[in-house]
Chain A
């Protein structure tokens, strides 16, 4: 059922065209992703890989050139589809003339929270992010870390089912990071889907269950981190594997990465590796190698996002 996914995109594409010349920039290219509801999902990629554009496409700040995006099964272009979404943008600019309380009140109203409910929730959320004593201070006096925490409170105030965070700890000191992490950890029990767009690999590795790595606007790798990460499984490299067989293998929970010889399939157990090998051979594919894998998310990221710099 389509509602089981917090985010679904089908062939999502964004091409920026220059107004005065024929120059085109393909920021996002045929991205098809499915983020199951209730999971912590990380989106990784080098600078300019298309991460922020992808998030903006989800929230309709940017219109797709092609493809579609859905939030909890609803077309993302419908305003109601965004009601269960909390968002903390990268490089946000909150109105500096507002106080912390005023800012939460304004964005809470826009998110559809009733006035009486806002009055009750705002002190609660200010306390949650450690800004209770700053409620009546204009936010132009807030530090970067405080602004991030306030932004997080803003994103959570209407109790969203999906939280989209674009570089949530960017520019935040270690103490602020720990505060944000504490708040996010608290969401795990509430079943909130968290979609983090970040370039901090350790953050994604420790918090997320799923990850996708974008390279030049395309999904280069996608899957469960436990499957993708080495040291916990086996890596089967194969060539000439038909697309239908790959789809079948992916459906069984294995992660598939592009490789020089064809594809590399990452699985967790020896039994899964045997099943994958059987499927590949049954489909007429060639097994190039089978090995126990030992890489980290950083290795995976370097290999995927920066193949030229990978060791």
Chain B
């Protein structure tokens, strides 16, 4: 436990020294301030007028609906913003620990290689989780104070974003362990996320694909890769109280992907010479 705490603390210190920690929080603060500014110009009232909501009963219902719709889209924005920013911030933290002269000393200590890598993973997760909580809570409080409508479901953006980041961080770790390249460690999860968004359009695409094998190939990749798009959609639907939100499949397939990739990274790290 002492070892894990030391490794997590070291990850924090490195993130702080490289300005990643403060950079993340500064950008999140900037986004919160932008929300504050946007709401200062009474966007909500403007939109209500623009939509022509007049009668009192209908107006209350419509404001509620409008706020929920706004919350759902803001949650998506935070989900995308927070996750990708976190991936960019984390990419260098794995290769840096594998630098020759640094890793040899770490491996000479009485700790397992898995502990070393997991320490870095947990450290990264904590940094990003703190940032996600700060960002989403900040925006939620501003929206709540302005609209007087407190939508606790908006806070779903916290666990969903953290979960997605945990999955993508496993890719960062794997690519970092194999290539020791920070650039590649960013490119891989970002590219994977974009492909995932594309694969999520399977209902439309399989109708367009001409052969059975290509349809099966599409679905194969859809099922094995993390569901970045589906998770975001499910979160948005849940915020809108939509009963059709599909959680189970995106969560377990993404979790399975993350666990397998992280296990692969640990296995390669165990076998590597430094």
> Which A residues form the contact surface with B (CB < 8 A)?
16, 56, 59-63, 79-83, 85, 87, 89-98, 102, 106-107, 109-112, 114, 154, 164
Cβ A92 vs Cβ B101 within 8 A = yes
CA distance A62 to B7 in the complex (A): 22
Closest to A140 in B: B17
From A63, A79, A80, name the one whose CB has the most chain B CB atoms within 10 angstroms.
A79
Q: Does B179 contact A (CB under 8 A)?
A: no
Cβ B109 vs Cβ A107 within 8 A = yes
> Which residue of the partner chain, among B9, B18, B100, B271, contacts A91 with CB atoms under 8 Å?
B100
Closest to B9 in A: A106
Cβ A110 vs Cβ B3 within 8 A = yes
Cβ B108 vs Cβ A93 within 8 A = no
Q: Does B106 contact A (CB under 8 A)?
A: yes
CB-CB nearest 3 A-B residue pairs: A97-B17, A93-B101, A109-B6
CA distance A223 to B187 in the complex (A): 54
Cβ A111 vs Cβ B110 within 8 A = yes
Kindly list chain A residues whose C-beta atoms are within 8 Å of the C-beta of B7.
110
| B14-30 vs A, Cβ < 8 Å mask (1 yes, 0 no) | 10111000000000000
Are A109 and B3 also in contact (CB < 8 A) when A62-B273, A97-B13 are?
yes
Kindly list chain A residues whose C-beta atoms are within 8 Å of the C-beta of B109.
82, 107, 110-111
Interface set, chain B 105-134, CB cutoff 8 A to A: 105-112
Cβ B273 vs Cβ A83 within 8 A = no
Kindly list chain B residues whose C-beta atoms are within 8 Å of the C-beta of A94.
102, 105
CA distance A107 to B116 in the complex (A): 13
Are A110 and B101 also in contact (CB < 8 A) when A61-B273, A62-B274, A98-B13 are?
no
CA distance A154 to B104 in the complex (A): 14
Cβ A61 vs Cβ B13 within 8 A = no
Kindly list chain A residues whose C-beta atoms are within 8 Å of the C-beta of B108.
59, 61, 82, 85, 87, 89, 164
Given pairs A59-B104, A89-B104, A95-B102, 18 additional interface contacts (CB within 8 A): A16-B273, A62-B274, A63-B271, A63-B273, A82-B109, A82-B110, A89-B101, A89-B108, A90-B101, A94-B105, A102-B13, A106-B6, A106-B10, A107-B105, A109-B3, A109-B5, A110-B110, A164-B108
> Which residue of the partner chain, among B3, B13, B110, contacts A80 with CB atoms under 8 Å?
B110
Cβ B103 vs Cβ A61 within 8 A = yes
Cβ B18 vs Cβ A97 within 8 A = yes
* Shortest beta-carbon distance from A89 to chain B in Å: 5
Kindly list chain B residues whose C-beta atoms are within 8 Å of the C-beta of A16.
273
| B254-274 vs A, Cβ < 8 Å mask (1 yes, 0 no) | 000000000000000001011
Are A110 and B13 also in contact (CB < 8 A) when A63-B271, A93-B99 are?
no
CA distance A85 to B108 in the complex (A): 8
Interface set, chain B 159-206, CB cutoff 8 A to A: none
* Shortest beta-carbon distance from A30 to chain B in Å: 19
> Which residue of the partner chain, among B6, B99, B104, B271, contacts A56 with CB atoms under 8 Å?
B104
5 contacts between A and B (CB under 8 A): A61-B273, A93-B100, A93-B102, A107-B105, A110-B109
Q: Does B2 contact A (CB under 8 A)?
A: yes
Interface set, chain B 70-113, CB cutoff 8 A to A: 99-112
Interface set, chain B 9-65, CB cutoff 8 A to A: 9-10, 13-14, 16-18
Cβ B103 vs Cβ A110 within 8 A = no
* Shortest beta-carbon distance from B250 to chain A in Å: 36
* Shortest beta-carbon distance from A21 to chain B in Å: 17
Closest to B274 in A: A61
CA distance A92 to B100 in the complex (A): 7
CA distance A112 to B110 in the complex (A): 8
Closest to B111 in A: A79
Kindly list chain B residues whose C-beta atoms are within 8 Å of the C-beta of A102.
13
Kindly list chain B residues whose C-beta atoms are within 8 Å of the C-beta of A56.
104, 273-274
Cβ B107 vs Cβ A61 within 8 A = yes
Kindly list chain A residues whose C-beta atoms are within 8 Å of the C-beta of B6.
106, 109-110
Cβ B105 vs Cβ A112 within 8 A = no
CA distance A85 to B102 in the complex (A): 17
CA distance A60 to B270 in the complex (A): 10
* Shortest beta-carbon distance from A298 to chain B in Å: 29
